[in-house]
């Protein structure tokens, strides 16, 4: 991890006033003020998780965009990292929004530590550290190495980091999630967020047995979900479908390597007819009714994901129980049992297919695809949607122009794709 340095911004004139309407730190130096800061961090977290999970669906094989002739597809939809950075200009949507979660929790944690009653303090701190670790984990899974992770000090001064590798970011995520696990006490929801996110981070590091141990206590029916507008529903709903415009639909073997989310006819991805393709009127495109209302929650951590983590750990340990775990989960939704496909590579394919169907449209898929490359040695062009029209990016680039603003340590873009 690069050096972290505090930088003080000198401000004159605008702050040299006495305004009785301004809210100052002493005005919220109490339990109510601490809770307000916690809730503000929570609001930023859930909105960011919902919005950026949509980016993951677009970048991966979960969604396909039906682009009429003469229109230009978005860079995210075709893995075009150069186009993404050019379109973003001086703003950085993906890294920038998760960055906000990181520093909003930094503002809330000291206040909760100082003013929240002891009966609530552990769970509130555990929740904040869980959100904080989740944000770092999602950045590590989604963004190419070399990104910064900017923060704020307890006295509200900016802290700018140097470029982070995926490994250093995962180590930081694990440290934050260790704190979450340490502090949380009574809330099953907060425990689920902390432990399942930590299990994910350990999977990414290839520490499979440790990952399984962390999630073992999470009940299968436990969930931690968003509490904000569902951006998936906002973009994929029947009333939004318009002939002749670009249509977003459930992917089906997108780019040759994508999974058969439509043709599998799987109850975990309920389908509805979207409309005719803009490029071929004989083709029917489908949307999913997984989310049916504007405020439907998105599951960010669950006992189902805990069991999937345990299955991956068992598979890597040569334990045949990996398949039993998958089949036990499948039985809960009336799916038939799977058979062992034999070779290790085929077993990994099966496990990751099951992960994709269980975790569809929850922001996990890009991390899974990158883990197949990183941990299992897969060629990216056999994992990501590929072929004519697709780029070769395997992660979101961070926008160099945006990240250089005020940060003297960021002098180069992605160090690896």
∠ CA(60), CA(72), CA(50), 5° rounding?
40
Q: In what order do the strands lie in the sheet with 151-152?
A: 5-6, 158-160, 151-152
How confident is the model at residue 136, as a pLDDT?
Answer: 98
How confident is the model at residue 27, as a pLDDT?
Answer: 65
Indicate the SS3 state at residue 172: helix
pLDDT tens readout for residues 238-285: 666 654 456 789 999 999 999 999 999 999 999 999 888 877 778 889
Q: In the chain, where are the structural domains located?
A: 27-225+298-384+392-403
State the Rg of the chain over Cα: 22
| Residues with pLDDT less than 50, the chain | 1-23, 243-244, 417
How confident is the model at residue 156, as a pLDDT?
Answer: 79
Does 1.25.40.390 match the CATH number of domain 27-225+298-384+392-403? Answer: yes
How confident is the model at residue 15, as a pLDDT?
Answer: 31
**CB-based burial of residue 328 (10 Å sphere; 0-12 exposed, 13-18 middle, 19+ buried)?**
middle
Nearest of 138, 151, 159, 149 to residue 106 by alpha carbon: 151
- CB-based contact 160:7 (threshold 8 Å): yes
Look up residue 127 and give its two tokens.
């929740």
Handedness of CA 395, 396, 399, 403 (dihedral sign): negative
65 bridge partner residues: 248
- Measured CA to CA, the distance from residue 17 to residue 26 in angstroms comes to 17
Q: What is the pTM of this model?
A: 0.91
């Amino acid at each position: 991890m690069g050096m972290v340095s505090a930088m003080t911004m000198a401000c004159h004139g605008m702050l040299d006033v006495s305004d009785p309407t301004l809210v100052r730190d002493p005005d919220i130096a109490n339990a109510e003020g601490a809770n307000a800061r916690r809730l503000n961090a929570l609001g930023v977290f859930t909105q960011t998780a919902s919005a950026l999970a949509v980016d993951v669906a677009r970048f991966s094989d979960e969604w396909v965009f039906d682009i009429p002739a003469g229109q230009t597809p978005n860079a995210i939809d075709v893995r075009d990292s150069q186009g993404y950075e050019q379109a973003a200009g001086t703003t950085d949507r993906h890294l920038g929004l998760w960055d906000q979660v990181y520093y909003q929790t930094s503002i809330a944690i000291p206040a909760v530590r100082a003013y929240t009653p002891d009966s609530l303090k552990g769970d509130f701190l555990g929740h904040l550290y869980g959100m904080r670790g989740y944000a770092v984990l999602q950045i590590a899974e989604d963004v190419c190495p070399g990104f910064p992770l900017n923060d704020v000090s307890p006295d509200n001064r900016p802290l700018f980091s140097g470029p982070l590798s995926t490994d250093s970011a995962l180590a930081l995520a694990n440290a934050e999630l260790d704190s979450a696990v340490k502090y949380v006490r009574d809330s099953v929801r907060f425990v689920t967020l902390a432990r399942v996110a930590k299990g994910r981070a350990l999977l990414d590091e290839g520490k499979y047995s440790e990952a399984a141990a962390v999630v073992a206590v999470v009940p299968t029916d436990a969930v931690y979900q968003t509490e904000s507008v569902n951006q998936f529903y906002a973009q994929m709903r029947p009333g939004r479908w318009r002939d002749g415009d670009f249509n977003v639909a459930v992917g089906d073997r997108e780019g040759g390597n994508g999974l058969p989310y439509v043709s599998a006819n799987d109850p975990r991805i309920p389908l509805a007819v979207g409309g005719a393709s803009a490029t071929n009127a004989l083709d029917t495109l489908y949307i999913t009714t997984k989310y049916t209302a504007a405020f439907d929650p998105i599951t960010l951590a669950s006992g189902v994901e805990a069991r999937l983590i345990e299955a991956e750990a068992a598979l890597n340990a040569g334990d045949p129980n990996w398949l039993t775990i998958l089949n036990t989960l499948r039985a809960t939704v009336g799916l038939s049992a799977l058979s062992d496909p034999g070779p290790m590579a085929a077993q990994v394919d099966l496990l990751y297919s099951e992960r994709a169907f269980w975790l569809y449209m929850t922001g996990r898929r890009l991390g899974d695809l990158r883990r197949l490359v990183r941990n299992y040695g897969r060629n990216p062009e056999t994992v990501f949607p590929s072929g004519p029209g697709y780029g070769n990016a395997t992660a979101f680039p961070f926008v160099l122009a945006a990240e250089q603003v005020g940060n003297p340590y960021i002098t180069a873009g992605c160090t690896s794709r």
